[in-house]
Structure 1
Amino acid sequence: MAASGKLLELFYDVVSPYSWLAFEVLCRYRNVWNVDLRLRPGFLGGLMNLSGSLQAMRFVTAVEMKHPEFVESVSRELWMRIWSRDEDITQPESLLAAASKAGVQPQHAKELLGMISNPDVKNRLKQTTDEAAKHGAFGMPVIVVHVDGVPHMFFGSDRFELIAYLLREKWFGPVPSRNAPKL
């Protein structure tokens, strides 16, 4: 946990463009606000009875379990593939390509791909999705801000000013380095 004792959990699914917005903003603000950002890949379909990203989110969950240092870059690449370049993220070749572009070694990417049908990975994804639901989630993104041990749930990618207020921090807009006041 960050020295400040402030923890933010982002429950997300790469099929959600709003999750992508929240992901990018929180990744930019983790050092600005001095918070521990915990990325929590979930399955939107598990909350909304939809499908489309199950294999991708199992893949991201496998990354989280085996190579957590790549969760951010693999998640970002999957968003880029589906929402920026209109590429498929449901096929194994696409998942391997995303992992490669994110810097995962090919042998590790193949191992991770092989893990998506593993019961441990399935259970981890289900557990994370259930945790989001216990916080009151009905969609994604869900951001759970823990301050002094008390969780506060925010839905959507348009609540950053409220999160900043709760954290007693400043909100500089979606790109803090461009909007930060100059001394």
Structure 2
Amino acid sequence: MSKLPRIDYYFDVISPYSYIGFEILHKLKHQWKGVSIRYIPFFLGAIMNETGNRSPGMLPAKAAMSMTDLRRTAKFWNIPFTPNPHFMDWIMKYRPTGALRILLALEEQDKELMLRAARGFWLRLWFRSEKIFENSDFEEVLKAVGVKNVQEVIEKSKEEKYIKMLMKNTKEGVSLGAYGAPWINVLTADGEEHLFFGSDRFHLIADLLQQPQPLPDKLLFNQKSKL
């Protein structure tokens, strides 16, 4: 018996490409029919360590080109984005694991709240150049997205349960061959798995799933107006 195709989207809130991919996928879920999506937080730092990969920010020429690439892509898709001048200093000092555990705790309460909080973390880091690593940061994001029991969620996220959940998600990513983020596992109706890396592979995923090619709203509107 065939099943509906599913996209498993592995992401880290510290990753700007995960942010871009998240927003594109959010737009596509209104264009693609009969495709379910799972959003799976994992710890990119552990993925990089496991595979020996390095952040683009560690190579100045690559870092500069990455920011140019991100700005262009964000503009094309109408996604709020501003390069963060503090990012390299912060990732040497902090881990995003607290924010990721917040998302896991929220998901049990309300999946949509989890997605709004993920966007809130990305907007802080990659639009307003604000931190996402400490309790005060968590409080601001949770209040902004409408969480009522803010302190309860923060304390709950520190439980061993969510530490293990994050480790499990990260190990799953490694087992799927992940070396960066976002990492995407597409399960087709025949049960086969198809792996993709990055935020610029959605045209290939569309072809695989026989869905409309991805377009930003401005081009989608122009295309419809010509019909």
When the two structures are superposed, what TM-score results if normalisation uses the length of structure 1? 0.90
Question: Is 1:26 matched up with 2:68?
Answer: no
For residues 21 and 172 of structure 1, the distance between their equivalents in structure 2, rounded to whole angstroms, comes to 13
For residues 119 and 172 of structure 1, the distance between their equivalents in structure 2, rounded to whole angstroms, comes to 39
- The 8 Å contact of residues 27 and 37 in structure 1, kept in 2 or not, is answered as no
Question: Is 1:78 matched up with 2:121?
Answer: yes
Look up the match of 1:115.
156
Cα deviation for residue 155 of structure 1 reads 0.6
Alpha carbon RMSD of aligned pairs, Å?
A: 1.7
Deviations 1:29-56 (A, max 9, x none): 1131121111101111121138621111
Any stretches of 5+ residues in structure 1 without a counterpart?
none
Question: Is 1:168 matched up with 2:167?
Answer: no
Look up the match of 1:17.
16
Any stretches of 5+ residues in structure 2 without a counterpart?
50-90
Look up the match of 1:125.
166
Deviations 1:96-146 (A, max 9, x none): 1101111211x2x21110022211111111111111111110111011111
For residues 47 and 145 of structure 1, the distance between their equivalents in structure 2, rounded to whole angstroms, comes to 19
> Any residues of structure 2 matched to 1:20-169 within 5 Å, and which?
20-34=19-33, 35-49=35-49, 52-105=95-148, 107=149, 109-148=150-189, 149-169=191-211
For residues 145 and 193 of structure 2, the distance between their equivalents in structure 1, rounded to whole angstroms, comes to 32
Secondary structure at the residue paired with 1:95? helix
- The 8 Å contact of residues 202 and 214 in structure 2, kept in 1 or not, is answered as no
Cα deviation for residue 93 of structure 1 reads 0.9
Look up the match of 1:179.
219
Cα deviation for residue 154 of structure 1 reads 0.5
- The 8 Å contact of residues 14 and 75 in structure 1, kept in 2 or not, is answered as yes
**Residue identity in the other structure for 1:46:** A
- The 8 Å contact of residues 63 and 112 in structure 1, kept in 2 or not, is answered as yes
Secondary structure at the residue paired with 2:103? helix
Question: Percent sequence identity over matched residues?
Answer: 33
For residues 176 and 218 of structure 2, the distance between their equivalents in structure 1, rounded to whole angstroms, comes to 33
Q: Which moved more, 1:41-50 or 1:143-152?
A: 41-50
Number of residues of Structure 1 aligned to a counterpart in Structure 2: 177
**Residue identity in the other structure for 1:19:** S
When the two structures are superposed, what TM-score results if normalisation uses the length of structure 2? 0.74
**Residue identity in the other structure for 1:160:** F
For residues 134 and 47 of structure 1, the distance between their equivalents in structure 2, rounded to whole angstroms, comes to 10
For residues 146 and 170 of structure 1, the distance between their equivalents in structure 2, rounded to whole angstroms, comes to 18
Structure of higher CA gyration radius: 2
